[in-house]
Amino acid sequence: MSIIIYVGNLSYTVSESELKDLFTPYGGVESAKIISDRYTGNSRGFGFVEMSDRSGGEQAISELSGKEIYGRKIKVSEARPKRERDSYRGASSRGGRRDF
């Protein structure tokens, strides 16, 4: 069973291949993705790694969390499911969706 891992506080210069290389010693890395700003294309300082083996992923989380990479201590944890977002911007602050 695979595991998806959140990696935060990344240096903005870390590449996806470097992120993959960081996790490879712990098992098979299916994908490594750095999240970028949709307007500028610059890194947002976090990413996700999908590993094919849960036990290797858990070991990576344990050993890499707090490790310093390019002068920044990274945060590593199991990714949480993505929240659903209301398609109407600001609806929750206005008491719900409004139909116009």
Which structure tokens are listed for 67?
């490790």
Which structure tokens are listed for 33?
């993705």
- pLDDT, position 100: 45
26-31, Cβ contacts within 8 angstroms, sequence gap of 24 or more:
26/51, 26/56, 26/57, 26/59, 26/60, 26/63, 27/51, 27/52, 27/53, 27/55, 27/56, 27/57, 27/59, 27/60, 28/52, 28/53, 28/56, 30/2
In the chain, the domains with their CATH numbers are 3-79 (3.30.70.330)
- Check pLDDT > 80 for residue 2: yes
- pLDDT, position 86: 63
| pTM score | 0.81
